[in-house]
Amino acid sequence: MIPKINIMFFRDFVLFLLEDMPVRLKKVFAIDAPSFYDKMYPLIKPALPAEICDVIYFFSDFQSLYKFINKKYLSSEYGGEAQSMYEQNKMWLRYIEDVRLFYLNENIWKADMTKKLKNSKLSID
Q: Which domains does the chain have, with CATH numbers?
A: 1-69 (3.40.525.10), 70-110 (no CATH)
Confidence grade of residue 11 (pLDDT, cut at 50, 70, 90):
confident
pLDDT at 73: 92
Helix (H) or strand (E) holding 29: strand 28-31
32: left (phi over 0), alpha (psi -120 to 50) or beta: left
pLDDT, tens digit, for every residue of 32-87? 777 777 787 888 788 777 877 888 888 877 888 888 889 999 999 888 899 999 99
pLDDT tops 90 at residue 97: yes
pLDDT tops 70 at residue 122: no
pLDDT tops 70 at residue 1: no
Q: Is 62 buried (19+), middle (13-18) or exposed (0-12) by CB count in 10 A?
A: middle
Q: 103 and 96 in contact (C-beta within 8 Å)? A: no
Question: What single DSSP character describes residue 32?
Answer: T
Rounded distance between C-alpha atoms, residue 110 and residue 113, angstroms: 9
Rounded distance between C-alpha atoms, residue 16 and residue 39, angstroms: 23
Residue 52 CB contacts under 8 Å (≥ 6 apart), including other chains: 14, 18, 25, 28
Q: Which amino acid is at 3?
A: P
Average pLDDT value for residue range 89-93? 96
